Amino acid sequence: MKRILSYNVNGIRSAVSKGLLNFFAEVNPDIICIQETKAQPGQLHEADFQKLGYYCSAFSAEKKGYSGVAVYSRQQPDLVVAGMENAKYDSEGRVIRADFGDISVISAYFPSGTTGDVRQAFKMEFLADFHDYVNKLRKTRKNLVISGDYNICRLWIDIHNPEKQQNTSGFLPEEREWFAKFVDDGYVDSFREINNEAYQYSWWSYRAGARANNKGWRIDYNMVTASLKDKILDARILPQAIHSDHCPVLVDMDF
């Protein structure tokens, strides 16, 4: 079994100061996909993760203190590819891929559209281009685990009060339509293969009481290609981990 954990830490230095390393020592993932590192090389607690037995592969944004993704793994990757060969997104440090044998693990941080029309348009462009990127990759690397913060609630049950949220970025009809097409194209939502219950969230606003009252959104995923669907052993959300406004999501795979 291999345990893959995805976590938007909203700043890795901040999360480490809140006990992140102890949490990883307890949960013991084989591969950790991190989003929103908000850090540059040398600031990613590489030495601390090395002491825990992890290799560090990271891709930082050009802008300091912004975005950034990483893959920490117990096994040294055969190959690491930073970015998706598109400077528009790669300058923001949004995608990194690590290959392990015939499995490729991607840590992805999808753009948010909450700041207005310009970034929402950027997000929709990213969705189309990312879909093309993974489809092209799948021709040579058919076994993909695509972990990360997608910044979209996929289903009606993935968000609190869905009736009132349909004009909100992250739950717009066109975003959910993209996700439906993505799933139809052979990408499997590992968590929903295991758990069909409502009120299962991975992000909560910092506004008063949102997390305590579980008024959340499920926007973090471990998606896998259909070729790996039968390898899913378990998938969980870990809301008890409080190092960020997100919480970790994990999948156990029969690798």
* Residue 185 annotated as catalytic: no
Say whether 157 sits in a helix, a strand or coil: helix
| The one catalytic residue among 99, 117, 129, 149 | 149
Q: Residue 233: is it exposed, middle or buried by C-beta count within 10 angstroms (0-12/13-18/19+)?
A: middle
Q: Which of 212, 211, 218 shows the shortest CA–CA distance to 195? A: 218
Fold of 2-253: Deoxyribonuclease I; Chain A (3.60.10)
**HEC string for 196-218:** CCCCCCCEECCCCCCCCCCCEEC
User: What pLDDT is attached to residue 208?
Assistant: 84
Q: What angle do CA 46, 252, 55 make, to 5 degrees?
A: 15
User: What pLDDT is attached to residue 156?
Assistant: 97
User: What pLDDT is attached to residue 26?
Assistant: 97
| Mean pLDDT in order along the chain per 10 residues (255 residues) | 98 98 98 98 96 98 97 98 97 98 98 95 98 98 98 98 95 98 98 97 94 97 98 98 98 97
